[in-house]
Structure 1
Amino acid sequence: MLHSDSLVLAEEAVPLVSWGIAGWALAGALLGGTIAAVAIPRLLAHRESSPRWRSVSGCSAAAGLAAGILAVRFDGIELVAFGFLAGVGVVLAAIDLLERRLPGRLVLPSYGVLGGLLVLEAAVTERWSNLLTALAAALLVALAYLLVALASRGGLGSGDVKFGGLLGMAMGWQGWSAVVTGTAVGWLGAAAVLLVLRILGRRPGTMPMGPFLLAGALFALVPG
């Protein structure tokens, strides 16, 4: 039988958790919007197609939603690391949708930030095996994508290879099952959309893989 003081504590805990998730969602929205406002105009090859407020607000909303969902599963340094990945990822996905490319000028520095945060988390929690798996997954996913890119002769770009490695690092922290699940979900999602487009009689020249790879990675991270 629950005492009245236990019920009061439980009732107080729920709003605190909700406010915490809302706070992380707001932080993610600010991060995504800031990265979009600063990076996208500088990284687009065609400056005349620089995004207006819709692109920035879209990235902000997507990053905020992702950060809020991640906050249900993670906390502390892990949440900062994966929240950063979500913020950078939605901006990269937006660029991929606009120009069908994932600029290395944004992907490569993200390796250092994400990797540094995971090293810090490993040092604090002594989860060195997770870190080793993350690094191995980044290498193996990037290598696998490179082989696909070479075999497809342009079907997969160098940006996809780099972005895949970055996502592989995040998924690898959660284990090999997350790597397999996230990669499979991303590719199956892209295949499903491509099939629907062909049924509708549309033939896209190049499929932007960034949004699908990011969605698959986030899908794999949350269940843990």
Structure 2
Amino acid sequence: MIVRVAGAGTPVWFVVLLGVVGLVVGGLTGRRLADGGYRTEYDEAGALPRVWWWPAPVLALLWAFLGWRLGDYAGWAALPAFLLFAWLTVGLVWIDADVHRLPDGLVLPAYPALLVLLLVATLGLGDWRALWRALACLAVVFGVFFLMNLVSPASLGFGDVKLSGLIGLLLGWLGVQEAVTGVVAGFLVGGVVALVMLVAQRVGLRSHIAYGPSLLLGTFLALAFEYQLVA
């Protein structure tokens, strides 16, 4: 049978604390995004999103979830990298949904930032194989998405390719299974979203659908639904 792996046994007070801090940081992030400072003259965008407050509860839930899921793994050293990625997720989902673009100003600096944080996490874990595995998953996932972009650039933008490397790096640090699950989940979520929008006639067959949010959701699904096969 297949059983789902439980959380890390983090104290409830710490999970609540992360949720409260995430609520505050998410609120500040939403207010900053609401001014549209990320937009450029080349973006084809309409009115700014009016629901500016949603990053607050979303980041609160993500940070609380990560505190429960990872907890004191690697002596608490692993948590900062995942918290940073959750904050990045909120910003990228907002921007990609608005202007169908994943800005280099957020994605590219995240590479050295996550590398440094995962290096610290590796020192806390005491197992250098985790870092080498993360780098290998980064290369493989980035390579797969790069080839997909070459084959069908209209279906998968290069911003998604750059984002995929971050996902491979982060999930690959935990394990190859997590990286594979995250990528597959991202594809499945993207397919379901596209199908629903087509059925609802919100988009056409030639319309561009923001794929970044699906990739990011797939990452957290890989963390939420880590399964083990038990004989």
Q: TM-score, normalised by structure 1?
A: 0.84
Partner in structure 1 of residue 38 of structure 2: 43
**Cα deviation code 1:143-178 (max 9, x no counterpart):** 111111111132211111111111111110111111
CA contact (8 A) 1:190 1:212 kept: yes
How far is the alpha carbon of 1:127 from its aligned partner?
2.0
CA contact (8 A) 1:28 1:83 kept: no
Partner in structure 1 of residue 110 of structure 2: 110
Do structure 1's residue 175 and structure 2's residue 170 form an aligned pair?
no
Larger helix fraction of residues: 1
Q: Distance in 2 between matches of 1:165 and 1:65?
A: 24
**Superposed, which structure 2 residues align to 1:153-192 within 5 Å?**
153-192=153-192
Alignment counterpart, residue 73 of structure 1, candidates 69, 73, 81:
69
Partner in structure 2 of residue 8 of structure 1: none
Q: Which residue type is aligned with residue 58 of structure 2? A: A
CA contact (8 A) 1:71 1:79 kept: yes
How far is the alpha carbon of 1:114 from its aligned partner?
1.3
SS in structure 2 of the partner of residue 101 of structure 1: coil
Do structure 1's residue 195 and structure 2's residue 195 form an aligned pair?
yes
Q: Which residue type is aligned with residue 65 of structure 2? A: I
How far is the alpha carbon of 1:67 from its aligned partner?
0.8
CA contact (8 A) 1:187 1:212 kept: yes
SS in structure 2 of the partner of residue 73 of structure 1: helix
Q: Which residue type is aligned with residue 44 of structure 1? A: R
How far is the alpha carbon of 1:223 from its aligned partner?
4.6
Partner in structure 2 of residue 3 of structure 1: none
How far is the alpha carbon of 1:106 from its aligned partner?
0.5
CA contact (8 A) 2:186 2:215 kept: yes
CA contact (8 A) 1:32 1:91 kept: no
Q: Greater Rg, structure 1 or structure 2?
A: 1
Q: Against the structure 1 CA distance between its residues 34 and 128, is the aligned structure 2 distance closer, same or farther, given a 3 Å change threshold?
A: farther
CA contact (8 A) 2:172 2:179 kept: yes
CA contact (8 A) 1:32 1:60 kept: yes
Q: TM-score, normalised by structure 2?
A: 0.82
Q: Which residue type is aligned with residue 220 of structure 1? A: A
Q: Which residue type is aligned with residue 112 of structure 1? A: P
**Cα deviation code 1:103-156 (max 9, x no counterpart):** 111101111211111101112221211111111111211111111111113221
Q: Against the structure 1 CA distance between its residues 116 and 36, is the aligned structure 2 distance closer, same or farther, given a 3 Å change threshold?
A: farther
Q: Which moved more, 1:80-89 or 1:24-33?
A: 24-33
Partner in structure 2 of residue 10 of structure 1: none
Partner in structure 2 of residue 219 of structure 1: 221
Q: Distance in 2 between matches of 1:96 and 1:103?
A: 8
Partner in structure 1 of residue 96 of structure 2: 96
How far is the alpha carbon of 1:92 from its aligned partner?
0.3
Do structure 1's residue 24 and structure 2's residue 18 form an aligned pair?
yes
Q: Distance in 2 between matches of 1:85 and 1:137?
A: 17
SS in structure 2 of the partner of residue 44 of structure 1: coil
How far is the alpha carbon of 1:36 from its aligned partner?
4.3
CA contact (8 A) 1:121 1:127 kept: no
Q: Distance in 2 between matches of 1:61 and 1:90?
A: 10
CA contact (8 A) 1:66 1:86 kept: yes
C-alpha RMSD of the superposition:
2.2
Q: Which residue type is aligned with residue 215 of structure 1? A: L
Fraction of identical pairs, as percent: 31
**Superposed, which structure 2 residues align to 1:140-151 within 5 Å?**
140-151=140-151
CA contact (8 A) 1:73 1:223 kept: no
CA contact (8 A) 1:184 1:216 kept: yes
**Cα deviation code 1:70-117 (max 9, x no counterpart):** 111113221221011011111101101001110111101111211111
Q: Against the structure 1 CA distance between its residues 29 and 134, is the aligned structure 2 distance closer, same or farther, given a 3 Å change threshold?
A: farther
Q: Distance in 1 between matches of 2:119 and 2:82?
A: 13
